[in-house]
Amino acid sequence: MKKLTIAILMLLTSFSIVSAEIGVRIGGSVEVGEFTTSGFENENSEVSETKTEKGFVGLGSYFIEGQLGFLPGPLKRISIGYSTVPHKLSTGTSSRNSTDLGLGNPNSASRVDNSVSAEISNYDTLYATVNITDWLFVKYGTLDMDVKTTENLETGSAYGNFTTSGTVWGVGLHHQTDSGFFGKVEWNDTEIDGKSLTSTTNADNSVTLKEMTGDTAKISFGKAF
């Protein structure tokens, strides 16, 4: 997707030079909302209870858009855009305190602490918007991200990093002044694909992260050229 993103940015730059019919917009955004995810662990064929977590998310991003005003009829209402989150996101830490029976011997039982967290980077979105009116638009896009896992498991298991993708759709309001400055507010629904990971130290152990879903509110400001 990153190669596609670079190609789109080059196209937008080229079009902006050769045609006044393409309006290029750049700006920044702030987004807040809540995400829900669930998952379970498979340890030596013993599957744990599925656990669901909800968490608050806050992020900043910047974007570039091109309005395809050279297209005929209603197609000129379409814009394509690319946004990226320039900072890393932390999921926080999920911990579990459980009893290790020590090979089935109650006399050797002990309490163990297991914790896992993740860090998200390279959160990129490629999207399209359609203006229903001069101030109302709908949006659909695809996203991808890199996930770095960190864990402290008494089982000795360790899980690698991975890349995942998802989709986003939304609806919003847009206003632009005669001088080209604009603002947008939007509501977005995001779905991020799940992933199953096998322990790098024990092939009998695995964790499964189910699909992550979330609703966010987003506000953006920028300049049109």
Intervals of the chain under pLDDT 50 = 15-20, 92-95, 97-106, 108-109, 112
pLDDT score, position 99 = 46
Amino acid at 127: Y
**What is the CATH classification number for the domain harbouring 152?**
2.40.160
pLDDT score, position 41 = 74
pLDDT score, position 11 = 53
Judge contact between 222 and 180, C-beta under 8 A: no
Tell me the three state secondary structure of residue 71: coil
Greatest C-alpha distance within the chain: 79
Tell me the three state secondary structure of residue 19: coil
In the numeric block, which tokens belong to residue 32? 């807040």
Please report, rounded to a whole number, the percentage of residues in the chain having pLDDT higher than 70.
71
Judge contact between 85 and 59, C-beta under 8 A: yes
pLDDT score, position 197 = 81
In the numeric block, which tokens belong to residue 143? 């996203």
Total count of domains within the chain: 1
Amino acid at 125: T
pLDDT score, position 104 = 47
State the Cα–Cα distance between residues 83 and 182, nearest whole angstrom: 17
pLDDT score, position 55 = 79
Kindly report, residue by residue over 11-38, the tens digit of the pLDDT. 555 544 444 456 899 999 999 999 887 7
pLDDT score, position 19 = 44
Question: What is the residue range of 210's domain?
Answer: 2-224
